[in-house]
Every structure is written in structure tokens, then in C-alpha cells.
Amino acid sequence: MSAKAISEQTGKEFLFKHLCTSAALQNRFRYANVSADTDWARLTQEHPWLLTERLVVKPDQLIKRRGKLGLVGVDLDLQGVREWLKPRLMKETTVGKAKGVLRNFLVEPFVPHTQEEEYYVCIYATREGDHVLFHHEGGVNVGDVDAKAQRLMVAVDDKLREDQVREELLTHVPEDKKEVLSSFLVGLFNLYEDLYFTYLEINPLVVNKDGVYVLDMAAKIDATADYICKAKWGDVEFPPPFGREAYPEEAYIADLDAKSGASLKLTLLNPRGRIWTMVAGGGASVVYSDTICDLGGVDELANYGEYSGAPSEQQTYDYAKTILSLMTREKHPQGKVLIVGGSIANFTNVAATFKGIVRAIKDYQGPLKEHEVTIFVRRGGPNYQEGLRVMGEVGKTTGIPIHVFGTETHMTAIVGMALGHRPIPNQPPMDAHTANFLLNASSGPKTPAATRTASFSEPRTPTEVSPAKKPKAGPPPEVGASPCCSGAKATTLFRKQTKAIIWGMQTRAVQGMMDFDYVCSRDEPSVAAMVYPFTGDHKQKFYWGHKEILLPVYKNMADATKKHPEVDVLISFASLRSAFDSTMEAMQFPQIHTISIIAEGIPEAQTRKMIKVADEKGVTIIGPATVGGIKPGCFKIGNTGGMLDNILASKLYRPGSVAYVSRSGGMSNELNNIISRTTDGVYEGVAIGGDRYPGSTFMDHVLRYQDTPGVEMIVVLGEIGGTEEYRICQGIIEGRITKPVVCWCIGTCATMFSSEVQFGHAGACANQASETALAKNQALRDAGAYVPKSFDELGNVIKTVYDELVANGTIVPAQEVPPPTVPMDYSWARELGLIRKPASFMTSICDERGQELIYAGMPITEVFKEEMGLGGVLGLLWFQRRLPRYACQFIEMCLMVTADHGPAVSGAHNTIVCARAGKDLISSLTSGLLTIGDRFGGALDAAAKQFSKAFDSGMLPMEFVNKMKKDGKLIMGIGHRVKSVNNPDMRVQILKDFVKQHFTSTQLLDYALDVEKITTSKKPNLILNVDGFIGVAFVDLLRTCGGFTRDEADEFVEIGALNGIFVLGRSMGFIGHYLDQKRLKQGLYRHPWDDISYVLPEHMSM
């Protein structure tokens, strides 16, 4: 949602902080918030004026007309305020249809004034600009300000001037107040623009001899501008509409939504209700709510919400578990139903999102069964068959009743099943598998193919449809004319030769476009180039049918348009932060005639500026917040139409006779499905986007379709909010639109809710009665459009109108031509489980593919929760099991004692020399590590093997020493250059004490110590050194800790695991030496001559 209401306190805080005006603004920051938790003593300390001034108190909960409702206490002292609050604070009250508890109140100084000093001012945004309303008689009884007030429209990108204000708004204001008011109003308008307000009303605004007083204020700001205005706004809290409580779960989902590129929305309507929804898509979520309310479920509808935009499995899991947690808190005598619905996805991997839902269902299977929850599922889109399969499987394994349906079932049919209005089919027919687009499945010579079952929410007889009024005939205006813009816009946006530039590295979308081009039998790909500013110019590889091709990628639009003058379409996948700048830049190139903006969340003020420039230059903008559009047989925008299986199923590879325009991207794909099943298919379809101000409007496209010879009928899927549908009514009545128009506006449920609900699309909110879906549907019906009784009947109405056109010869269904086959991408075939190939690597220690890193089966969160430490992690990654705590401690001690042994040893020496030669950390560390071997540091494995072999063979220590001497071999792990019996190595002593105290058995260590007694009797420095000690102690650990079999313990010794301890530990020291040399700024090392013995041949010695 973009326009969000803020509290009066927040609005006044913005105003007092940022208003620039020469008018004397009084009572700045003099307000106090009161709630049930208020400490009055502390409140009066923070606001001492409460004790000395007369006061006003009122609820601050988005309640309109508080004065008329008796919810304003006036001219009270502090005690009077407290008395006034007693019967109201935390008490339920009714405002209109909404019942709610009065929780938050605002206390301000009372301003004595006369009626003549009260004024009314309001600023609100429209597509063309911002309207400023001013009336010289403000206050409670201001009445119909739309009819009374002076009005001034400030066009987009224009500024409000004081002379304009005086001449057009202040005509009824006394001369002595005009200067103050004009300065204030201009400052207010500048504030409104700078802080991205969409609505700002002050009533009354009091102006007297002391200055200007803002008494009551209501405002909305564009929440999508948070990244622009964060420094000025701070952390804004958006209160819920009066009558609806603010739930922590709503805040949790809002936080998930803010952190995600996907869209996640949740509004709780009735937490005790029995009907819960989990719907994919902003438009689809409205349609499901409409259908539930149409079938009498409004009082039991528990929530409104949506998840869309390809959320990850984890995000879907978090969303689903929130819903399941809420619905299993209170039992309902009739049990509960969960509707997991959605239209046909364009790009969301249905199976991936359903896996998140399945995880949540498994986690909550107990409470779900206890609360007698039945789940109904209907979905389509990429990999939906696998998604439906896993949903069906979890129903069987958990015992929860889950009824699963795909695209063969009408989108909202499951609502009728869930509410008991129609029977549940035992075995619903299933469409072809996603992979079947490899095969030509055409079965009939003509279209439409009667493949859809009667699966509406209620069994119906064939619908007789006739428009309430016949449209007047009239000659169509000149082709290409557009009544709403100064620049001439094209009637035909896409042809079979259309070429596009893609802004953004969206390789999947580009490949989808190329596959569509191929099945449409285009001669060349529709994508000419890509623009991606974050990499240098290069080529990107794609497939054209079976063949690999290279597509150029440029750093900027200037280079791309210069190299590709044939391009006239830009498809922008720029982020919401960069979409405005990149679009404005693109419109500077005259060859660009059409721009599709995919990003959702662009601030409305920026969108309006883009629209203004586009109108001036004759550029058609589709979006923002859209999936795009499609012209079968010619061109598709990005991910529109989904995967190739849906392209073929909906016959989008060749043109039909029906053109449609929708707001919702997901619902546009549902329209592709409905139209393909009831007519000869789609001629063109556009999703204009869900924002309040789409770049092009319903009427823009309806007029294009009217003037396009191949289009014989038009379908419009309108929506609550805005008044654009009334232009269609006017066009039909005036005869400008003569082709049959089938239209339905979604959002009919909004009038049934007691409090305002903001639906998934930013523009889906009615600000007045004429903007409701019910009003618009009736107006369209009266104008002569074909309007069904509900969305359920939309397909029937489309079929009825189409059949009439076929019967009278207007449409002659064409012979079906099978499209060429396209190979499936390897990655997608693998996703579907259609192919297998040997893996290049095998791993069993770590898995990073899920939402959480896993070490040997243990999630990383558990590793930290269990405080396993470095030793525990090493046990998981090296030995694939949890080791006892003492074993983890021993590993960490080994790492500590082997970390370093001074700069003189060969490894440290090499590291230092390398560092002083100016090499980097990795090179220097590697230089040191390469010296590790049998002579330096690599004795752990060798010592372990030698001692183990001798001990296991039953050889006595003396026999072992004698044999090694006889064979001329050194005993690995015995001997030290510096340490001796008389100068013991404290590292060994520390480890020995720990091992003797904690290990269950030390047989091999005891054997090695007996060997040490023999060797030190011959020479005092032939001690068991730290390498030897760690080697034999580790063998004892592996053999006796209980985590390994004897064979496993021996295998780890054999494959070199013990040397890893020294390598890992000593790496810490080598890095320390490297950093030390860099910190000391040591220069290039050259070994001194006097430390080198030059041994040359005798004949050269002179």
C-alpha cells in the first residue's frame, strides 16, 4: 500500500518540524498523548503547560467528525480532562458501522476564537496534479466542502505561488489576513510535497491576531517514499483504522514484507472467524474475499492477506505458520476452513512456495486436527503440479483433510466447496504435466476446446446476458488518437517485428521471452539487448530454440539505443529506487515508444512525473507494479503468461479475437486461462498495474482495442478504487466504444466490512462511494457493458458474448496450427525431476541450499544454541558427529598449543619472508603451510600410525625402540631441538594433565610415555614432543570416546585428519606473523652473507 493514514499527533509533528512560512505558527509541539498506561505525574513534568492552560482532549485514532460525535472535550482544566476521559478511555464506542475501543487521546491547549477566525484547507493528490481546497468558513459545520470551497489544481511538477493563492483561494478572506494565509498555504503545500503527503486536511485552521493555529488535522503519506523521507519522517507508526485492533502478527508480517523483495500482507478482520485465507496475488486475494462474502461468509471471514512476488520457501513458511498459529487459538463449533488459493502464477515457483506451507502444516498438524481444520487448495503456474502433489501428500500423511485442485478448476470454485455450497469432487481432472509442453497436444481443428469442467462455486444454469442499454453506434475517431495526452501515442504497441531492450539482469525473463518468440514462429528474438549499469559491456548467452546465441549487455541506455535503432520498447526491471531515474532517462530517446515498469513500490509523486513526461512525448507506460502484457503470436513482456506450458495451454502462441486489460498481473494470467477455455483466445492483454496512478489507464487500452481491427470483443477486469471505469461507461454511452465490453470490478466485499481494509494493490481503496466496486459495476451495467453477477460468472458471460459473435459471423474461429516445440532448460527439467545425471561432487558435511546453513545435519542456529564452540564445529565438519564436551575442549586446546612456536621455525620464517616481499595474506600463509611435513609439524599422523602399529601388534616399548633403530628410522613425535627432560615443554604438560583427568582410557598415550622413558635415558631431549603427544592422545580419543568404531578411528588416522589439527592451529600463528610484519612495516628481507657458507668448486675458489 502507498497512501497510509497517520495519527494527528504524527501529522502535527511533521508540520511543526518542517513547515517553512513567515506566518506565526502557534502552539508548536504543544500536545500530549494519553492512554490507559499514562503516568499523569510524569506527563505534567514533561508538559507543564497542562497545569496552567485550558485544554482540549480528543481521541487520536483516525476517527472522522469527532466534534459531531461528541468525542471532543473543550475548554477544560487538567482535572476536567481526566473526568472527561473516565467514561471514554478504554471503552467501546460505535462510529458509523465500526465498533472499537478508544485507546489513544490527544490533549492540546484550548484556543479561544470566533467562528469568523475558522478556515478550512485540504490538499489531495490526483493523477494530473494536487488539488488545494480552501473555504473561509471552517469548523464542525463546514458541510460539503467539495461544493463550497475555492479550488486550485497545481499540475505535476508545478509550484504553488502566493499570488495564485490570494487570487483564486482567498477571495472571501479579509485583506488583513491574506498575507498570513497565503504564506501559510504555500508553506503547507511545499511541506506536503517535500514529505510525500497524499492527503492533508486542516479543519479548523484558526487565524487571529496572534498568528496561525492548527486545531484538527488528518493526513496520509506515501509509505513507499520511506527510503527518501526516512531522515525527516523518522520511524512512523501507521495506526489501524478505527474498529480494527493492531495485532502483533500484522506487525510481524509487515516486518517480513519490508525485508523481502516479495509481497506479504496480513490484516486480521475477525480472529474468531472460521474462514481463513492464504492467497497468492494481490488481485486474487480480493477475488477470494469477494466470493466468500458473496456466499454469506462475511461475518466468519477471519483475515485478508496475500503473498506474491516469488517469496522464498522460508518466507512462505513464516507467513503460513503465522496464519496457522492464529487460526488454532480458539475452537469453532463448526470447525474451520483454510483456503489456500491463487490465480495462475506468472513466475513464482508454486512448488517452492508450497513447500513452505507444507512445513508449516506439519509443524501445526496437532492443533489443525484438534480444531477440525479442512484445507482447500487451488493454484496454477510454474511447477504447480509438483506443488499440488506435495500438498496432497501432506494431507495423507498427517490425516488433515486437504482438497487439491489445479487450473482445470475455476479459481474460486473451492470457496463454494469450503462453505458447503457445492459438492467436493472425489477426483478432480488434472491438466497435463508442466513438462508436456515438449509435446504437441493439440487435439482439435478449431478453438475453443470445451475442456473446462463446470466448477463454479454454485451450480448454475446457463446465464442469459444482455446489456441493460444498447450502445449507440458512431464512427470511431481517427486511429491512434488519444484524448488524455498531448503527445500522439501509438494504437499498436507490439508487432511481430517489435524489438525491446531489457533494463536489468533478468536472464530468466529474457529466456522466457525468447522461448515465446520461438513458439510464435518469429523470425528473430524480440530482445535486442540488455542494459545493466553494474557490469562492463559484455555478452550474455541465451537459447533460440536449440541454438545458443549471444545477447549484448550495455552499461547505459545511450549505447544500447545507438547500437540498436530498431528498438522501440523498454522493459524495465529496475528496482523501486532506480526505476524513476532510469525511466526518465529512457524517455529522452525518441525511438522508445513503450515502456513497461515492473517494480512495485515507486512513490506516487515520481510516478506522476513519469506520466506527465510520457504524455508530452507520446510514450505509453505499462506499470508500475505490473507483470506487463502479452500479444499472442507477437510479443510478451518479461514473465507475462508464465512458463511455456501455460503459454501453450492458454493458446498464447497465436492471436485470438478477445483483448483484455486488468490491473493485476496474476489475474491477467487467470484471464488468459478463462478466455482460452471460453473463446478462440486472446488477441492482446495488458496488466496496467496495481498502483493508484498506472502509467496507462483502462481507457487508453480499451480505445486501442476499439481501433484495432483484429479485436472483436473486450474484457476489462476493474477494481475498487479510482474512477477510471466511468470513462469506459462514458465511451460506451457516447458511441466511442462500439465493440462488446465484458467488465467486472473486483472488491465488492469492501462495503461489507465494518472498517476500512486496504487490499493488496496500492490503488485498491475507495475514498468515496463512487469508487466502490458495487457502484462501478452498476454504472457499467447501466451504460451497456456486459457485467456478470460475480467473478464466478465472468467466464460464462465471456462465453455467451463470444458465442453470439460467432453465431452472427463477426468471429470465424481459425484453424488451429500446432506450435513448434522448444527444448526444456536443463535447470527446469531437473527442478521437475524429469532428468538425472551423476553429480560431479559428493559432500556429506555441509548443506547451504536451504534457508539455514547445516553442519553435518545440525542447523547453524542449533550450533550456537548448544554453545558447541570451535571444537564442536570441527567435530561436525571433520568427523560428522557430535563429540563429547571434553573431546571438543581437547581439540580447542590442541589448536591453542599449536598456534605458534616463534618466528624461527621454518613455516613462520617462510611466512615472514613472503610478507616482507610485499605478498598478500593468502600467498604468505600458503608459503608457510607448504613447509609442513614429516620434519616440521607433520609428525602427528606419522606418530599416531607408528605408535598405534607397535601397540596393536603387541610389541613392547623396548622392542619398538630397538626395531626402529635397527631399521634406521626416526620415531616420529620423539625429540625436540630445545626442550628436554630438564627443560620440559609446558604445552605437553598442560595437555597431559587434561587428558589424564578427562579421557576414559589412555592406553596408547601410556605406551608412548613408556617409550619416552627409554629414549630420554639415552638422550634428555628425546622427549615425547607436542606433535607426538597430540597424535597418540587423539588416537585414544577416537578409540574410546564412544563416537567411532575401531575401523572408523583407524580410517581417520590413515587419511590424515590429525595433521589437520596442526595445520589449522599453526595457520593462526602464520597469519599473526604476516600481520605483525605489515604492522611493523618491515622491508624486503635479504639473507646476510655471513650466515651463508659458500661452497664452490676448487678451481673457482680463487
Query: DSSP label at 933?
Result: B
Segment 862-872 shows an average pLDDT of 93
Neighbours of 734 (CB within 10 A): 12
The yes-or-no verdict on residue 1082 having pLDDT over 70 is yes
Are the C-beta atoms of residues 350 and 380 closer than 8 Å to each other?
Answer: yes
Q: What's the rounded Cα separation, in Å, for the pair 1010 and 1016? A: 10
The pLDDT of residue 449: 38
The residue ranges of DSSP E strands in 430-522, in sequence order, are: 500-503
The pLDDT of residue 767: 66
Q: What's the rounded Cα separation, in Å, for the pair 447 and 1084? A: 82
For 19-35, what is each residue's pLDDT tens digit?
Answer: 999 999 999 999 999 99
pLDDT band of 585, cuts 50, 70, 90 = very high
Q: What's the rounded Cα separation, in Å, for the pair 513 and 218? A: 47
Please provide the average confidence, as pLDDT, over all residues in the chain: 89
The pLDDT of residue 849: 84
SS3 368: helix
Note if the bond before 448 is cis, omega within 30 degrees: yes
The pLDDT of residue 103: 93
Q: What's the rounded Cα separation, in Å, for the pair 237 and 239? A: 6
Identified catalytic residue from 136, 701, 761, 1073: 761
Segment 989-1014 shows an average pLDDT of 95
Note if the bond before 248 is cis, omega within 30 degrees: no
Q: What's the rounded Cα separation, in Å, for the pair 487 and 469? A: 34
The pLDDT of residue 762: 56
Q: Using alpha carbons, select from 93, 94, 73 the residue that is nearest to residue 83.
A: 73
The pLDDT of residue 316: 93
761 is catalytic: yes
Are the C-beta atoms of residues 158 and 129 closer than 8 Å to each other?
Answer: yes
For 442-462, what is each residue's pLDDT tens digit?
Answer: 333 343 433 333 333 333 344
For 321-371, what is each residue's pLDDT tens digit?
Answer: 999 999 999 999 999 999 999 999 888 889 888 999 999 999 999 999 999
The pLDDT of residue 940: 87
Its pTM stands at 0.81
Segment 405-413 shows an average pLDDT of 92
The pLDDT of residue 729: 97
Q: Which three cell numbers stand for residue 99?
A: 465498533
Segment 931-951 shows an average pLDDT of 87
For 804-829, what is each residue's pLDDT tens digit?
Answer: 999 999 999 888 888 878 888 777 77
Position 346, amino acid: N
Q: Which three cell numbers stand for residue 1044?
A: 567411532
For 457-516, what is each residue's pLDDT tens digit?
Answer: 333 344 444 444 443 333 333 333 333 444 678 889 999 999 999 999 999 999 999 999
Q: What's the rounded Cα separation, in Å, for the pair 646 and 343? A: 12
The pLDDT of residue 935: 75
767 or 846, which is more confident: 846
Are the C-beta atoms of residues 51 and 40 closer than 8 Å to each other?
Answer: no
For 729-781, what is each residue's pLDDT tens digit?
Answer: 999 999 999 999 999 999 888 877 655 666 756 555 656 788 899 999 999 99
Lowest-confidence range among 428-442, 738-752, 837-851, 910-924? 428-442
For 706-724, what is each residue's pLDDT tens digit?
Answer: 999 999 999 999 998 889 9
Segment 578-596 shows an average pLDDT of 97
The pLDDT of residue 827: 78
Q: Using alpha carbons, select from 25, 433, 12, 478 the residue that is nearest to residue 219.
A: 12
Q: What's the rounded Cα separation, in Å, for the pair 247 and 1022? A: 73
Are the C-beta atoms of residues 596 and 637 closer than 8 Å to each other?
Answer: yes
